[in-house]
A and B are shown apart, each in its own frame.
Chain A
């Protein structure tokens, strides 16, 4: 199956466009940023709504607390910084003041994963999905491309409750239609197939699309699911697909521990134990390099998806 490439853009720019649109349509939306306005593409919102934009400086803990407080009185705050500083650095602030207190804060986390690139492992968080999906009350969204990140940003504002919205730095192909419907918690089935289910999120959705051609040439029928919402997980979509395919590959730009793969494995173990292979970073920190070099070195590239499919098919037999 051919996927039309609609353009090439970074997912963070999708966030920037979504936030700007929210600025025009929802007067309750406010934005806070910890000295990364350009990196998060928040300039347009800031320019159009200076009174609703709050530059907090390099003080992420204070930013999370402020965002929680701003909900009292009806505002919908979006915090902006890198994924690393949006999660581990401020876990306790998110836990107590946002998740436990059920505050309507949207945590916009950019530069997630290895594809942050040259800055290296200090900034390449690979544990954030795990940290966030463990928190009660938290919704976790990892959109696949520019258009979907824009849609997810807008959908986050309409959702009442804490949201962790994870996106990235590199320019990647756009394949989600600009007018596609985005529903939090409802997976997108991109291709229907009968031999294997690939469940991917974020940049790995495109890597999985790239794998399709090779797999189809080998006569393998793939059902590819874009699992943009990690929590709440679309359990029905998973069970419906594996009822046909009887094996799964999960693919994500995250540590194997705690991520999408873990979440899917839990569903399978409880409902339908079948073989699963994991395309994810295996218990190691990253390093400096270009985004694509790093995806290759750390085993989250297109050939890794293909190899995982072959391995899981062999196990199925």
Chain B
């Protein structure tokens, strides 16, 4: 897909994010905006998957797990635009009886979601399990995950990291949304991750890095990552992003991690984001 096409989709995804969050005065716009480019790339170009015929078992298709479930607006928008469910359903986000729960879940049977997430730190273990089942089933498709950087403060992530390397789970590509911010402030002020690249290397992972707002960087890095599948090591991509990317007043601060814009702020955000595919 051409970069221009991806940019158009990502712009609409960003409009959806701020509109969804503003409509219910709740949700997490900051990280959602920051991961809009990556998830647009992944679902519209990077993964082999089957939006028209969603299967929980994901046999012979790539599978993605959102471990940092609070950025649900971005995954819902991307899933809708790529065809898992009607775009109009985005209007139900966080409302009673919606399939679009505050954090993604399976119990309302939303196509595209295979695991609840929200309580942090669990998605890497889940992904390893799914990757092992793919190996047992002789299924050569891959497992992708996304994690927040603050999420890496959870111990379970490192249990999983240790397991995957020790057992050569080499059909998994994990991505870290490295925006350096979390609810209480800058990540370095809350609890520094230290040398993140060295940590993953020490745990035995193949470590790549990319700019999460540059489709050339994302594409090239994902292609390198995919070329490393099956080489005996799990792969992690440290993706540099800006929380709130695309909306000027949401960038450069942690304050829009979990706050919704008011009507005036929404209008300001929409003025900065081109409507490309039509609002829901």
**CB pair B129 A68 closer than 8 Å:** yes
User: What is the chain A residue whose CB lies nearest that of B167?
Assistant: A54
Does B247 count as interface, using CB distance less than 8 angstroms? no
* Chain A residues closer than 8 Å to B118, beta-carbon distance: 96
Say how far B205's CB is from chain A's closest CB, in angstroms.
15
Chain B residues whose CB sits within 8 angstroms of the CB of A73 once the complex forms = 57-59, 130, 133-134, 136-137, 139
- Chain B residues at the A interface, C-beta cutoff of 8 Å: 56-59, 63, 65, 105-107, 114-119, 121-134, 136-137, 139, 155-156, 159-160, 162-163, 167
Does A72 contact B133, Cβ atoms closer than 8 Å?
Answer: yes
Task: Say yes or no: is A194 at the interface (Cβ < 8 Å to chain B).
Answer: no
| C-alpha gap A52/B137 in the complex (Å) | 11
**Cβ-closest chain A residue relative to B123:** A65
**Number of A interface residues, CB 8 Å?**
32
Contact A62 to B117, CB < 8 A, known contacts A70-B133, A96-B122, A97-B126: no
Known: A68-B126, A72-B57. A62 touches B156 (CB 8 A): yes
A71–B128 alpha-carbon span in the complex (Å): 11
Complex Cα distance A64/B162, Å? 15
Least CB distance, B16 to chain A, in whole angstroms: 25
Closest to B131 in A: A69
**Top 7 A-B pairs ranked by shortest CB distance?**
A69-B129, A65-B125, A73-B133, A62-B159, A59-B159, A66-B129, A69-B126
Interface of A is mostly: helix
Extra A-B contacts (7), CB below 8 Å, given A61-B125, A96-B117, A101-B115: A59-B163, A65-B123, A65-B128, A66-B126, A72-B133, A101-B105, A101-B116
Q: Show 11 residue pairs from A and B whose CB-CB distance is below 8 angstroms, ordered by the A residue.
A: A30-B136, A59-B160, A61-B125, A68-B126, A70-B130, A70-B132, A73-B59, A73-B139, A74-B59, A93-B122, A97-B115
- B107 cross-chain contacts in A, Cβ below 8 A: 100-102
Would you call A62 and B133 a contact (CB within 8 A)?
Answer: no
User: B115 touching A69 by the CB < 8 A rule?
Assistant: yes
How many angstroms between the C-alpha atoms of A71 and B134 in the bound complex? 10
Contact indicator A74/B119 (Cβ below 8 Å): no
Q: Is the CB of A72 within 8 A of B159?
A: no
| Contact between B137 and A65, CB atoms less than 8 A apart | no
**How distant is B168 from chain A, measured CB to nearest CB, in Å?**
13
Cβ contacts under 8 Å, B123 to chain A: 65
B115 to A, closest residue via Cβ: A101
Interface string of A31-61 (1 = CB under 8 A from B): 0000000000000000000011010110101
Indicate if A67 sits at the interface (CB-CB under 8 A). Answer: yes
Asked whether, in the complex, the Cβ of A102 is within 8 Å of the Cβ of B156, the reply is no
Name B169's closest neighbour in chain A (CB-CB).
A66
The CA-CA distance from A59 to B167 in the complex, in Å, is: 14
Closest CB in chain A relative to B196 CB, distance in Å: 20
- Chain A contacts for B114, CB-based, 8 A: 72
